[in-house]
Amino acid sequence: MPFSTLPPVIGEALTERGYSDLTPVQQAVIDPAADGRDLLVSAQTGSGKTVAFGLAMAPRLLGANDQAGPAGAPLSLVIAPTRELAMQVSRELLWLYGKAGVRIAPCVGGMDPSQERRRLAAGCHIVVGTPGRLRDHLERGALDLSALRTVVLDEADEMLDMGFREDLEELLDAAPQGRRTLLFSATIPPQIANLARRYQADALRISTVGDDRGHGDITYQAVTVSPSEIEQAVVNLLRFHEADTAMLFCATRENVRRLHATLQERGFAVVALSGEHSQSERNQALQALRDRRARVCVATDVAARGIDLPTLSLVVHVEVPRDAETLQHRSGRTGRAGKKGTAVIIVPYPRRKRVEAMLRGAKIQAEWIGAPTAAAIREQDRARLIAALLEPAEFDDEDRALAAQLLEQRSPEDIAASLVRAHRQAMPQPEDLIENTPEARKEAQQAAHRPGFDDVVWFKMNIGRRQNADPRWILPLLCRRGHITRGEVGAIRIGPQETYFQVPRTVADRFADAVARTASNSEDGGEVLIEASHEPDYKSPGPRQNRVGPRPGPHGGGNRPHAPRGKKPWKKDRPG
């Protein structure tokens, strides 16, 4: 028996749920070395920690006959950072202890507090709630912690980040001295360590975070794009994967609002979650995802905390995570319970080095790829459509009668083509992105070779070769930021840390005004600065130099001035 060391009612529940083995964190908390001790556990999202602390509570929760006694003052208290996570924990403990007669009382924001107080007064064995609501019940005398035997802090680092320190301390101070305290946290920063020292005694430290910080069931991909084509890349990623449920992460509520509107306009079934949405709106959005009325969720990091969607198979980091921990928390929403998931980081060209460093620090192996092309998406569509139409199906007499009527008026080929068209029209169209090929690079370079640049104004950008500056994405960025066309951008000269480019004097003022207006909400996050400048100094082109744009001088030749002492020569990209 795989669960012979567990109470029979718990083992039966796990078997019926489809468990064949315990996860590392679940095995660690029931090890004899952990018996009866306080636990400080590091476990990543999706590692099975809810069942883990459910198993750890069993010895002090169940009687000699593996059944819970009469319900009264709660014996176990589980504190979670968000309503969604608390309700998820309640559901997990409900099936785990269903055969043992355990009564569970959820206490979370957004629910009727008077109903919760009646449930607590009627008696229960486990209380699961959010810090604020639990503290409110405690101060009103509705929550009696005098019989408490086990306290669990789930995602303790998240609760401290969200400002629940005072709530947690009041709840822990009110718990009996002899209770067992189980602290679960993805990371153990100093504030968590301080909390553990204050409220735990001789705690056993358990860490199931291995050297590979990425989850074993998650495939990581890094997609390089032009800063001006992030939203187009999102569209193509959604269309290429066609995931049952996808979650897109943005840094701010404004970006959530904008991306949500864009995808909704494109025909995606999408919902949004951010700090500006009420609890009722959050509930409706999550229910739409669970009911499959929506398949895409655009969210901020804070708004997505505690959300568990079993069908979630694709996570897209629309904006680069601020650090490796954020990357891991976001990505951990998929690849759970043995299912496979994909986490995609959209990387604007200037930020590639930063993302590479983040992945190295997190010890995550990511595949660097370009965004899916429209041709690749259409190929995927064809394969999926053929598979869907050839699936075995049962047809009734009415279906066959209608099919016969259609065959009298159209050929089988025309009917099949109409069916294919109907399926395709229901799908959002893919975007045409800048191609990341040598041919595309040559075309982008040659785009600057245009007449009409006798009188120009030079501008510069604070990015160069070290930031992966390249005409492929610089040209569209300038057009988007400056409200000009590709034909109004002249020579582009890329240096180690800066890039200079020409704009005809006739449009220079308009370009500068547009750049100033678009700086705050630009696709590059405001990291790319554009300002007027002088013509750059450079040496004659050597074997490691090339350039974009018309050469100086009437015939593109002649001697060129040397770079000032102490300055490096400029890189000039020669077409081809």
**DSSP structure class, residue 431:** P
**DSSP structure class, residue 124:** B
Q: Over 90: is that where the pLDDT of 145 sits?
A: yes
- Distance of alpha carbon 216 from its chain centroid, rounded? 17
pLDDT in tens, 300-329: 887 777 677 878 899 999 999 888 878 887
Q: Output the pLDDT for position 274.
A: 86
Q: Output the pLDDT for position 476.
A: 82
Q: Which helix (H) or strand (E) holds 42?
A: strand 39-42
pLDDT in tens, 19-28: 888 888 899 9
Q: Output the pLDDT for position 556.
A: 38
Domains of the chain: 8-207 (3.40.50.300), 218-373 (3.40.50.300), 376-425 (no CATH), 438-572 (no CATH)
pLDDT band per the 50, 70, 90 thresholds, residue 552? very low
Percentage of the chain lying above the pLDDT 70 cut: 86
- Calculate the average pLDDT of the chain: 82
Q: Over 90: is that where the pLDDT of 297 sits?
A: yes
Q: Which of 496, 569, 566 is nearest to 537 (CA)?
A: 569
Residue 299: strand, helix, or coil: strand
Lowest mean pLDDT among 107-121, 525-539, 541-555: 541-555
Q: Over 60: is that where the pLDDT of 511 sits?
A: yes
In terms of pLDDT, which residue wins out, 461 or 575?
461
What tokens does 134 get? 């639990």
Q: Output the pLDDT for position 306.
A: 65
Q: Over 50: is that where the pLDDT of 566 sits?
A: no
pLDDT in tens, 417-463: 888 787 777 778 888 776 655 445 555 555 444 566 778 899 999 88
State how far the Cα of 532 lies from the Cα of 508, in Å rounded to an integer: 9
Q: Output the pLDDT for position 436.
A: 55
Q: Output the pLDDT for position 570.
A: 41
pLDDT band per the 50, 70, 90 thresholds, residue 233? very high
The H-assigned helical ranges of 42-199 are 49-61, 83-96, 113-122, 131-139, 156-161, 165-174, 190-199
Average pLDDT over residues 552-570: 39
